[in-house]
Amino acid sequence: MSEGPESVGRDLSRDARFFTYDVLINILDCLDSDFPSLCCCSQVSRIFMDAAATYLYRSVTYSPAFSPVLNLRKQDDFALPFFSSAQLQHNAALVRHLEVSVTDPSGIANPPRLAARAKTDPEGLPSNGESVPVWRSFVFVPHSRFPSQDNCGSVTPGVLRAFLPHLQEITSFALGLSYSLTDDDVFAFCKGLPSLQTLELRYYLQMRPAHMPRLSKLRSLTVHCQYVSSSHDAAYLYKWVRRTITYTPLESLRLVCEHQPSGAAPSFDPLLEHLVARHAPRLRILDLREFLVGWKALARLCDSCSELEDLFITVSPATLNDLQIDPSPFKRLRRLGLNTRNERGRTKFTTEAAAGFMELAPNLRRLVVNGDSFEGGWAADASGNVSFTVKQVNAAVRLFSWEKGCLDGKPTRMTLLD
């Protein structure tokens, strides 16, 4: 029978004197988000407590219970036990990710008070109130109990302005849908984050174009949106994306369609042309899996973007047939996903077809075609002969933590913002 966290803690306490902080910090990393075990380890000794706290407090969530009315008797919006503990001076220095999940404006009525409790100097010592904050990523998400799952209506321009002075060091920011905010409000806020590298937003159509933001350090953008079935609406979407990324050192772009697409599939070739013109030297990841692109724009993208490793797009059935014959545009890719649209039945890929495809694209290790997923790798048989083999695998693409989006070790908010 496996031992519980309590017995593990007792066993560790007997040999705690043989551990140093540098060793423990690497050992406890294996526990990842196993908070019960981390909590037990923190009770072994002072060294264990310091090491475990690094993982216990690196990600903090403020998510009060939903209340349909404003409770004027509530004196402290941030009195939840773990949240209060995270605001102690010796723990606040460890916070790297702060998630605010509320349903009404009263839930974040006093953001400066929260920020003041979570400020330290660069060495992690208590501050005098004017040094840099410790957060590295920050996200406004819809409350899980709120009727509209993607609604962040409580986030207003005033809320953003109140938080801005306390978020100067964050590198990641995510925001759900708020009709209280215009694009100019959001981009003005993002422009005020000098270290911002990863951004995740919910797009909705606004008739007045936003000013073109200059996000000089932004490397990753994820956009959640409704599917667009007309060329008119598609133009609004890809022009919005182009304005957002024009003055950025972009490496990763994802457009996440929140509902199963249906109807016509307008071309997103103009977005690919922009990526070739402005971001070819750096682009590594492009995920437009529900948006149609043509053969010529696709070939030009793959030929120009020398660093491109991951690509997921939708193509016509005719383009897929052409690519099966000549997949050479993908010779530098590591992972490729292809969907098809505008056909009665989705094209099924066999393992043999996938093997032939990968043979002509020598760097390709993962291929997904209309949900059928294949993985290639070198393997030795019983005689010791090594050969490249392809097998069908689970369709879920395995991602390392640093590939999952804007939050440390958390998936891109296909779950946060759905």
- For the chain, the domain total comes to 1
| Per-residue pLDDT at 212 | 85
Residue 44 lies in a domain: yes
pLDDT in tens, 76-111: 444 456 666 776 767 777 777 666 655 444 444 444
Residue 6 lies in a domain: yes
Q: Does position 138 have pLDDT exceeding 50, yes or no? A: yes
pLDDT in tens, 245-286: 999 999 999 999 877 776 678 999 999 999 999 999 999 999
Residue 21 lies in a domain: yes
Residue 12 lies in a domain: yes
For 274-299, give one letter per residue: b (16+ CB within 10 A) or e: bbbebbbebbbbbbbbbbbbebebbb
pLDDT band at 13 (very low <50, low <70, confident <90, very high): low
| Per-residue pLDDT at 246 | 94
- Strand locations in 231-284 (E): 252-257
Residue 50 lies in a domain: yes
Residue 272 lies in a domain: no
Residue 49 lies in a domain: yes
| Per-residue pLDDT at 360 | 87
Give the whole-angstrom CA distance, residue 295 versus residue 241. 21
| Per-residue pLDDT at 20 | 76
- High-pLDDT (> 70) share of the chain, %: 67
Q: Does position 299 have pLDDT exceeding 60, yes or no? A: yes
Residue 253 lies in a domain: no
**Which residues constitute the domain of residue 23?**
1-56
Residue 46: burial class (beta carbons within 10 Å; 0-12, 13-18, 19+)? exposed
Q: Does position 185 have pLDDT exceeding 50, yes or no? A: yes
Identify the bridge partners of residue 198 per DSSP, sorted by sequence position. Answer: 172, 220
pLDDT band at 27 (very low <50, low <70, confident <90, very high): confident
Give the whole-angstrom CA distance, residue 38 versus residue 23. 15
Q: What is the pTM of this model?
A: 0.68
Those residues whose C-beta lies under 8 Å from the C-beta of residue 399, and which sit 6 or more positions away, are 411
pLDDT in tens, 222-251: 999 988 888 999 999 999 999 999 999 999
